[in-house]
A and B are shown apart, each in its own frame.
Chain A
Amino acid sequence: MNWMGIAGLILVVVCVGLMFVFALLHRGRPYRGLRSIPAFNRLRRAVGLAVEDGSRLHVSLGSANLLGPQAASALVGLSMLDRIAQLSSISDRPPVATSGDSTLAILSQDTLRSGFRSANALDQYDPTRGRVAGLTPFSYAVGVIPTLVDESVSANILAGHFGPEVALIADTADQHGSFTLAGSDSLPGQAVLYATAQEPLIGEELFAGGAYLQAGPMHAASLRTQDVLRWALAGGLVLGALLKLVGIL
């Protein structure tokens, strides 16, 4: 039995424990101990404006494979979609979700349905609002463009796995003057988004989306756990470096 496997299991168990502890600590009330990320504040404003002027919100979940590491970013996108579906359920135009992967499209339909149901607006749910735009990254990117142009979208939330092709989406949104908040787990995608999107989420900020949109205490708890892990990782790196220097490792 390899020690890395054991260490990995311990890490996972500790993370789960911390998440539950933090979730219990601020259960029932939103956790406010988070630094301000302006992009999320502007997203709130954009959602409000979209509801006010009856335009549509577009949530793009990227082309992550559900069986891959990118799935994490897509899952965060789904959490955001759920919240946005709830918050915009009084809008004249329900939000539309596009995906570059079939499993994500199915999940986006389920998420939209549950979002509308929890907002008692199930009548607004339309299965074609959770759609596949294309099955390869670039066919997905160009498949999203008509949605931006033809469906009077005023705000785009790109939350998922996007490569550099996301520049096509952000560029089109920019040309049509619609708001774009975009985050990707792909670093080249983030770099491109920093230059092209109005409100880019860089690094881990995408994974904080659920907590900043108040998607539930477990989201805030996982963020606090992430901070604890950060300290642990930093300590481990420094300690390991010292041990390596003195020749123990």
Chain B
Amino acid sequence: MFTMDVILGFVSFLLTLLVLSYILAGDNPFFRVATYAFIGVAAAYVVLVVFQQVLWPKLVLPLITGTQNGVPLTQVQRVLLLAPLLGGLLLLTKLSPGFSRFGSFPMAYLVGVGAAVTVGGVVMGTIFSQSLAAINLFPSLSQVGTAQGLVALVDALFMLIGALATLFYFYFGARTRSRQPGQPPRRSRFIEGLAWVGQIFIAITFGSLFAGVYIAALTALVERISFLLNFSPIL
């Protein structure tokens, strides 16, 4: 008896085989069929989620009922919701070449707010917190006497050198040597030295990340193959 689970399981089985055919044949029609179906389904699901969980509860429902998540909105909050509605309508003009310029306003708004969120998050969340983290690794001189303190100091020093060398590996400023006018601009010896050290740390970091990605990919392959193995008896 074909239950919905079995049918959907078979679809999964088939799609998995079609996609894995890429390993043997590269970009082939079977692979294309699976991926195009996947793109369509993913897009439709995104639309559903966005409508059901963003537009409906955050825009449509509050405008109609005056409540958001069951919390009643003030008149001001309700009126203010007309702003994103207007912005959305302007955004829809992007669909028509003739009026698309009106859509520039909401896009400018999005870009501006997005840039601000980026800057705020990066400054507070990464630059400060990561710098403080690097500093806080250092033990006080009183602790350095102990073995644990010494290890912590070595660790903190490596962290500091690694961070600085990596930062200066990307140093962009350079000068054209007066002696070799034809040559491309080069950085000072000090920066070049730091950069040379930095590339070691960067290569190690990238190596570990690449290995991590590979492990994740292999885990996914293992999961798929185990699914195929488990589902084939059902067929």
Contacts and interface: CB of A to CB of B under 8 A. Distances in A.
B138 A7 contact: no
Interface string B127-150: 110011011101111101000000
A241 B73 CA distance: 50
Nearest to B167: A230
Given A106-B94, A190-B206, A236-B131, A142 B138 contact: no
B141 A245 contact: yes
Interface string B160-187: 1001101111111111100000001111
Contacts of B111: 66, 71, 75, 107
Contact of B213 (A5, A164, A241, A246): A164
A106 B135 CA distance: 43
Nearest to B103: A106
Contact of B131 (A138, A205, A233): A233
Given A191-B206, A191-B213, A223 B38 contact: no
Nearest to B35: A142
Interface string B191-234: 00000000000100111011011001100000000000000000
A8 B39 contact: no
Nearest to B42: A139
A135 B139 CA distance: 47
Contacts of A110: 100, 104, 107
A241 B168 contact: no
A202 B210 CA distance: 13
Interface stretch (A32-40, A50-58, A86-94, A151-159): A32-40
Contacts of B141: 245-247
A4 B128 contact: yes
Contacts of A194: 206, 210
Contact of B39 (A139, A205, A241): A139
Chain A, interface size category, equals: 35 or more
A69 B38 contact: no
Interface in B68-98: 91, 94, 97
> Per DSSP, are chain B's interface residues mostly helix, strand or loop, or mixed?
helix
Given A237-B163, A245-B141, A66 B185 contact: no
Contact of A187 (B43, B184, B205): B205
A172 B115 contact: no
A135 B50 CA distance: 12
Contacts of A112: none
Given A139-B43, A142-B38, A236-B131, A34 B213 contact: no
Given A175-B27, A241-B138, A245-B141, A67 B173 contact: no
Contacts of B151: none
Contact of A241 (B160, B172, B209): B160
A33 B176 CA distance: 8
A238 B107 contact: no
A29 interface: no
Contact of A244 (B113, B121, B135, B168): B135
A46 to B, nearest CB: 19
Interface string A206-225: 00100100000000000110
Contacts of A25: none
A191 B205 CA distance: 8
A244 B206 contact: no
A36 to B, nearest CB: 4
A235 to B, nearest CB: 10
Given A5-B124, A67-B114, A138-B38, 16 more contacts: A8-B120, A8-B124, A34-B172, A34-B185, A69-B118, A107-B107, A135-B43, A136-B46, A142-B35, A195-B210, A224-B173, A233-B127, A234-B167, A234-B168, A238-B160, A244-B135
21 contacts: A33-B174, A33-B175, A34-B185, A35-B184, A35-B186, A67-B110, A106-B94, A106-B103, A109-B100, A134-B39, A134-B43, A172-B27, A194-B210, A208-B172, A211-B172, A223-B172, A237-B135, A240-B134, A244-B138, A245-B139, A245-B144
